[in-house]
Structure 1
Amino acid sequence: MTVWRVADGLSYAEIARRLGRPTSTISREVGRNGGPGGYRPQQAHQATVQRARRDTPSPPHAAGPPGGAMEEEIVELAVRSGMPRMTARVHVDLLLSEDGRRTATELTRRLKVSPASVSVAVNVLVEHGYVRRERDPQRRRDIYVVDDDAWYHSVLISAQQALA
């Protein structure tokens, strides 16, 4: 495999083109791992492995926080009924929140998952009527809400989809 390097005088755009990746990916990778003059691929790989381990949620423990076992039981029930696991985790977290509202950032932190995972799960929940989006005009971000009529709306949406 040929290795293209910034040290060889190639631009980020040229490296990106040769690797079939966006230029922003290359510039972020180089910037995160020593910059153009100090980039070392092996050390960058090790740092990536460490970041991946750090971001991986650990399996649930028996001695978890109060309610943890109950949450896992509800998630398992939803998964057995056909809901994707991440969607079920997001849904249960919203249902058990004090006011039925969370931002994507809050969900990401609480569930220890990527923002992309939360986004996909929320899109499924919105599509099936379990959750709705509200826009926070002051902070320019979405808030995901489970409201009192969520079950009623989800049944209506499911019935409409079944008839279509």
Structure 2
Amino acid sequence: MPGGRLTHGDRTQIAVWLAEGLGYAEIGRRLGRPTSTISREVARNSAGAYLADAAQQAAGHRARRRKPARPAADGQPAEADFVDRFAGLLAATGMPRMTSRVFVCLLTADTSGLTSADLVRALQVSPASVSKSIGYLEDMELVVRHQDPGRRRERYLIDDDVWLRAWQADTGAHGQLATAAHEGIEIFGAATAAGARLRRMGQFFARLSEQMSGSTLAEPIVYDALTVIAALVHVSRPCTVDRLATALEWPNERVTAALDAIQCKPALADPLALHPTAPGTYTLIARPDRLSPAQRNALTPPR
């Protein structure tokens, strides 16, 4: 498991990948281990060539010579093991390994949180390492600090709104990337290779932003919007609000609200887009960012 001791299977894979010419960093990535773990393992157990069986035997001898490891601070190895495994998964997403361990400790703490001393004791690391990790997590708005009642020390905890804040932060960043991509298309030109790459990037992040953004639309409005979309697809030509209201047997206000919902939430009609052809008249067209200029030209019949 990531963060635990290398197994015989791990060492067999290391031997195979070394023979294939892979570097320590790539081997570490495949095993979910730091590069330093792989380089140290090979340095310790190579005598001309790295052999899995010999490395496993040498590791066994070293383990028997070591003093027994100190138990986890809370005396519950299963919980300490979970922290290490979960931290390994977070580290694989790009979060620093030590920061991942601090985060998981706080995630699994009780509602009062933990102090810096608690984290140092639980993780058996230096106060400086904890302080640096806390700063990283605070910058990401994943951790908040509170004054310990009646004492001068501070406690760190993960509050109930952390996931909403993280979600909103990602949504805003995705929207900014989509906007920047569209600006790049205007600068480099839609027909250039850079423009094509930026178009695909903009499409991806625009969809991601739309899907992740919070919607204030009530569920019945969304249902009405989908019904109006189906009606416009069926009629296949511009249609007025009055005609839609008559056909659907709805009041005009309900149709207008559904059309407004589609305009506020374009992802509802994706891959189509609502297009006003005249005041109070609408039709559906292919969403502009779904097709490149070359694709549109190829699909346009010759005159």
**Which of the five TM-score ranges fits, normalised by the shorter chain?**
0.5 to 0.7
Bigger Rg, structure 1 or 2: 2
Normalised by the length of structure 1, the TM-score is: 0.55
Identity %: 36
Deviation at 1:142, TM superposition (A): 1.5
Question: 1:143 and 2:138 equivalent?
Answer: no
Q: Deviations over 1:81-140 (max 9, x none)?
A: 000011000000011112260011111111111111101100111111111111235212
1:65 paired residue number: 77
* Higher RCO (C-alpha 8 Å, min separation 6): 1
2:84 is aligned with what amino acid?
Answer: E
Question: 1:113 and 2:125 equivalent?
Answer: yes
Matches of 1:65 and 1:118, distance apart in 2? 21
Matches of 1:160 and 1:142, distance apart in 2? 31
Which sections of structure 2, spanning at least 5 residues, go unmatched?
A: 1-68, 178-303
Cα RMSD (Å): 2.5
1:32 paired residue number: none
2:161 is aligned with what amino acid?
Answer: D
Count of aligned pairs between the two proteins: 104
Mapped contact 1:100–1:147 kept (Cα < 8 A): no
Deviation at 1:66, TM superposition (A): 1.7
Question: 1:96 and 2:108 equivalent?
Answer: yes
1:129 paired residue number: 141
Written as runs of structure 1 = structure 2, the 5 A alignment for 1:44-59 is: none
Normalised by the length of structure 2, the TM-score is: 0.31
Matches of 1:145 and 1:88, distance apart in 2? 14
Which sections of structure 1, spanning at least 5 residues, go unmatched?
A: 1-56
2:100 is aligned with what amino acid?
Answer: A
